[in-house]
Amino acid sequence: MKAYQIDLSGKVAVVTGGAGVLCAEFSKALASCGASVAILNRTESKAEALAEEITSSGGMALGIDADVLKKESLEHARQIIQNKFGGCDILINGAGGNHPSGTTSKEYFELDDLNQTELTSFFDLDEEGIRYVFDINFMGTLLATQVFAKDMVKKQGCSIINISSMNAFTPLTKIPSYSAAKASVSNFTQWLAVHFSKAGVRVNAIAPGFFLTDQNRNLLVDKNEELTERAAKIISQTPMSRFGEKEELVGTLLYLSDPRASGFVTGIVIPVDGGFSAYSGV
């Protein structure tokens, strides 16, 4: 009996934020299974370098400069992809992130904080910073879907995979903007799954637990590569007692990408978190 394999040959995958630590791994994995991968990134040189790495290994990839908050930029990218590979079959909405101005200094508010100018309390959160975090996570997901799903609704077997977060289930302290934005992504995933259910497009999300990336490294480890106080709390609440490895997201990604593996799966958010969401702390 022949072993089952993920085969995405003939599929076109679009990955927003595609040159980031986690999404770069997604791009490589999709290409290794035969998909033609369009890597969208605000830093074109990073996208092109990753595309070159993939093509030099025998895959098909294209690096494109694109801003998920500008619809005209996404439409331009779509035209390039159509000319090179054809219409999108798999959309990974990976662009996102946090911003310091949407983050409080302390986990808990105390009355004296109102007089502490060196602290950022809830009342000091910057409106523009909050808006940026919400937009890059939620609006970037919505706009990219509006653009690329135009190709997907015209055929069967297509898949949209959004990137949510543990914060969508239970918000972490200090990062209200990011938590709210990721909760919106999870809710939008469910809404869109129902909306596209008659059009042959499945919509799901992955909710990573804690992985070391370029964005969060300074928050989780110090210059000696020792855990910070916040990171130690995270590990204490993660039953597997470690951070995830980027490769450990790939199986879930490929499962949701392949209609033969998950053809009756839509509207779900899958935690990949080492047990963090299952642990009560007791």
- State pLDDT tens for residues 86-113: 999 999 999 999 988 899 999 999 999 9
- pLDDT grade, residue 1 (50/70/90)? low
- The region that residue 148 occupies, defined by phi over 0 for left and psi between -120 and 50 for alpha, beta otherwise, is alpha
Alpha carbon distance 145, 162 (integer Å): 10
From the candidates 4, 108, 132, 178, which is the catalytic residue? 178
User: Long-range contacts of range 232-237, CB-CB < 8 Å, 24 or more positions apart?
Assistant: 234/210, 234/276, 237/276, 237/279, 237/281
Alpha carbon distance 33, 255 (integer Å): 12
> What is the reported pLDDT for 2?
66
* CATH classification code of 12-209+244-274: 3.40.50.720
Task: Please say whether the beta carbons of 189 and 162 come within 8 A.
Answer: yes
What Å distances lie between residue 176 and 3, 72, 102, 122, 245, CA to CA? 45, 30, 7, 9, 25
Candidate from 43-52, 90-99, 129-138, 223-232 with smallest mean pLDDT: 223-232
Q: Please say if 132 is a catalytic residue.
A: no
> What is the reported pLDDT for 270?
98
| Domain layout of the chain by residue ranges | 12-209+244-274
> What are the beta bridge partners of residue 93?
16, 162
pLDDT, tens digit (0-9, with 9 covering 90-100), for 120-135:
999 999 999 999 999 9
- pLDDT grade, residue 18 (50/70/90)? very high
User: Average pLDDT of 146-164?
Assistant: 96
Whole-model pTM? 0.95
User: Average pLDDT of 43-71?
Assistant: 97
User: Average pLDDT of 28-33?
Assistant: 98
Does residue 115 register a pLDDT over 70?
yes
